[in-house]
Amino acid sequence: MLKMILLLILIAAAIIGVFLWKRYSPSKETYDLQKYYGIENEGQMAITVDNQVVEPHGMIDNGKAYIEYNVVRDYINSRFYWDPNENILLYTLPKDTVSVEVGSKDYSVSREKKSEDYIILKTEGSTAYIALDFIQQYTNIEYEVFSEPDRVMIQTEWGETKVATVKKDTQVRYQGGVKSPILTELKKKEEVTIVEEEENWSKVRTKDGFIGYVKKSALKKVETKNLTREFEEPVYTNITKDYTINMAWHNVTNQDANNNVLQRIAQSKGLTTIAPTWFHIADTDGNMNSIASADYVNYAHQSNIEVWATIRDFDGGINSYDESYEVLSYTSKRENLINELISESLRVGVDGINVDFEKISDECGEHYIQFIRELSVRCRQNGLVLSVDNYVPKGYNMQYDRKEQGIVADYVVIMGYDEYFAGSPEAGPVSSYDFVKEGIEETLKEVPAEKVISGIPFFSRLWKETPKTEEELESQEGTDEAEYTMNVESEAMGMDSAKAQVEQAGAEITWDDAAGQNYAAWEVDGTTYKIWLEDENSLEPKLKLMKENKLAGTAAWALGQENADIWNLILKYVN
């Protein structure tokens, strides 16, 4: 009986031992590297950039590594630009543009021809592949190519990096834990880069481009190294004014309207810069309409005021997202537009160009910022100030790429108005305090303060609300408009006109704390009128924001809409 009990105990111990071994012993399974790198087709080259595995959109051809344009743009160097319409690769330098044609060993830097001993740009259909050697000429990267599978490890990040030495032979696993499959083996004394640390495991990058997990106990000599590489980054020089900019847009709609510039200047105080809306894109070929006047520029200069002529992609020959995309997505059309813009600017003697493009879709973003880069080259060559107008940053307008604007342009202007705009389904302020504050704070995350100009409105909107009929409410069920029960119309008006409307209605003005503005509402024959007033009380806190954040200055839309006294307030903050 005792023997039987001992036997049962031994059997039970063996079963428990086997169970524990299976549960806690290290797995010897190897991970499928094709799956790890995302390789699906023969000939694909896997790619790691710093500490991440990216899409395997690369290839080896004649011993050279090539990377698909989208990967280059998104992970390595966003200044490379591929135009599939005209089969040309561009790279914009501060005063030159590098251009490469498909299948060529030659390239040009502006008008100078240069050559390599390899084909720089290859295509498969509309997909472009760029030689890594060529990318490296213009990018601070190192790379190494490996086989089995074909892969390239690219390093773009430099500076302080944590590294460790392998204490003993061990494995890099796909995830933390001994049961996770093995990516690769590590030998004693090999060095790894530590990506992040967990309780018992470290995420590491190996010298040959595997990114996975190693037991902390297998590592020693954890230290910080300063990794550097000799590379001369291009310097995008900018024009910087040594005074606080006091700018205003002048909404000029025809040649005759240029004649009132002297009156507008006389009615202002301390104006440093005037931006007349002179230029419009005429058509989808990149031609331009102009109502620029050399006399206007001379009058402004006599008053010691600079002229930054505004070009717009709306209210002219084109006026849609599709049309702006059609112009900006072709290199020849951008070039045509820039040539006309620079030529006309030099003809009338303006001091700068102000870009106000408001029809840029997400799809158009990369073409738009390439236009800004290319225009910046020509402005730099001709001593013209380049300023670019932007919405208050939101998730849906990130395609404007304010960070890159802040590098290549001289000034980035925030249009701190149209919070509620013509066509809004509900009434609201044109420019609440928090809206302007958010615009400044979010822009400063990407653009240096000395390059930021805060735009403010000289206008208000009078809102008119009428209840929707039952038929209208039924027709909008299930749509985005379902929550709105009022038909809403609005009219933009200057400061004096807005105040007169309130006085005429006999309405009481109250302070709207949430908006930081004076507010009035009244009712006539079942219609409700609402207005948030732009006046000294609303503008002063916004000007304080400009001053407190040490911005480059302020800009106002638009001359002629202001109350005469508002200039005394502005002078307090620009002097």
Widest CA span in the chain:
118
Whether residues 70 and 107 share a domain: the answer is yes
547 pLDDT band, cuts 50/70/90, is very high
Domain boundary residue among 192, 227, 262?
227
In this predicted structure, what is the pLDDT of residue 21? 43
In this predicted structure, what is the pLDDT of residue 11? 66
Whether residues 439 and 334 share a domain: the answer is yes
The chain-wide mean pLDDT, for the chain, equals: 95
pLDDT at residue 181 greater than cutoff 50: yes
- What's the Cα-to-Cα distance from 252 to each of 155, 264, 279, 342, 345, rounded to whole Å? 51, 12, 10, 19, 16
Whether residues 276 and 384 share a domain: the answer is yes
In this predicted structure, what is the pLDDT of residue 25? 76
Whether residues 218 and 113 share a domain: the answer is no
Backbone angles phi, psi at 527, to 5 degrees: -105, 135
pLDDT, tens digit (0-9, with 9 covering 90-100), for 14-63: 555 544 445 557 899 999 999 999 999 999 999 999 999 999 999 999 99
The CATH number of whichever domain residue 218 belongs to comes to 2.30.30.40
Q: Residue type at 114?
A: K
Q: 512: which strand partners?
A: 517
Domain boundary residue among 153, 175, 209?
153
User: Please, are residues 447 and 406 in contact by the beta-carbon 8 Å criterion?
Assistant: yes
Domain boundary residue among 194, 227, 260?
227
The CATH number of whichever domain residue 60 belongs to comes to 3.30.457.10
168 pLDDT band, cuts 50/70/90, is very high
User: Quick one: the chain helix, strand, coil %, rounded to 5?
Assistant: 30, 35, 35
Number of structural domains found in the chain: 3
User: Please, are residues 82 and 69 in contact by the beta-carbon 8 Å criterion?
Assistant: yes
Whether residues 397 and 284 share a domain: the answer is yes
Cα distance between residue 384 and residue 575, in whole Å: 24
In this predicted structure, what is the pLDDT of residue 13? 54
The CATH number of whichever domain residue 396 belongs to comes to 3.20.20.80
Position with higher pLDDT, 517 vs 26: 517
Whether residues 188 and 259 share a domain: the answer is no
Q: At what angle do helices 331-348 and 365-382 cross, to 10 degrees?
A: 40
Q: Do strands 510-512 and 201-205 pair parallel, antiparallel, or not at all (unpaired)? A: unpaired
16: in domain: no
Q: Residue type at 70?
A: N
6: in domain: no
Token pair of 380, please? 């730099």
Whether residues 299 and 385 share a domain: the answer is yes
How many beta carbons lie within 10 A of that of residue 140, not counting itself? 16
Query: Pick from 93, 130, 132, 128: which is nearest to 109 by CA?
Result: 93
Cα distance between residue 98 and residue 548, in whole Å: 41
In this predicted structure, what is the pLDDT of residue 110? 87
Q: Which domain holds residue 375?
A: 245-457+535-574
Whether residues 271 and 402 share a domain: the answer is yes
Whether residues 211 and 292 share a domain: the answer is no
The owner of tokens 């990506």 is 195
Instruction: State percent of the chain over pLDDT 90.
Output: 94
R_g of the chain computed on alpha carbons: 31
User: Please, are residues 33 and 136 in contact by the beta-carbon 8 Å criterion?
Assistant: no
- Which contiguous run of DSSP H or E holds residue 61? strand 52-61
User: Please, are residues 323 and 284 in contact by the beta-carbon 8 Å criterion?
Assistant: yes
Cα distance between residue 379 and residue 346, in whole Å: 10
519: in domain: no
298: in domain: yes
Q: At what angle do helices 294-302 and 331-348 cross, to 10 degrees?
A: 60
Whether residues 41 and 120 share a domain: the answer is yes
The mean-pLDDT minimum among 12-26, 167-181, 358-372, 402-416 falls in 12-26
In this predicted structure, what is the pLDDT of residue 18? 46
259: in domain: yes
Long-range CB contact pairs, 261-270, < 8 A, 24+: 261/296, 261/299, 261/300, 262/299, 264/559, 264/560, 265/299, 265/300, 265/303, 265/305, 267/560, 267/564, 268/559, 268/567, 269/567, 269/568, 269/570, 269/571, 270/246, 270/567, 270/570, 270/571, 270/574, 270/575
15: in domain: no
465: in domain: no
DSSP string, 334-376: HHHHHHHHHHHHHHHT-SEEEEE-----TTTHHHHHHHHHHHH
Contacts (Cβ under 8 Å, ≥6 apart) of 282: 288, 289, 316, 317, 318
In this predicted structure, what is the pLDDT of residue 468? 95
Helix (H, G, I), strand (E, B) or coil at 188: coil
- Dihedral of the CA atoms 323, 324, 327, 331 (nearest 10)? -150
pLDDT at residue 7 greater than cutoff 90: no
Whether residues 172 and 265 share a domain: the answer is no
329: in domain: yes
Contacts (Cβ under 8 Å, ≥6 apart) of 280: 288, 289, 311, 312, 313, 315, 316, 317, 318
Token pair of 290, please? 């102009």
pLDDT, tens digit (0-9, with 9 covering 90-100), for 118-139: 999 999 988 999 999 999 999 9
Whether residues 343 and 411 share a domain: the answer is yes
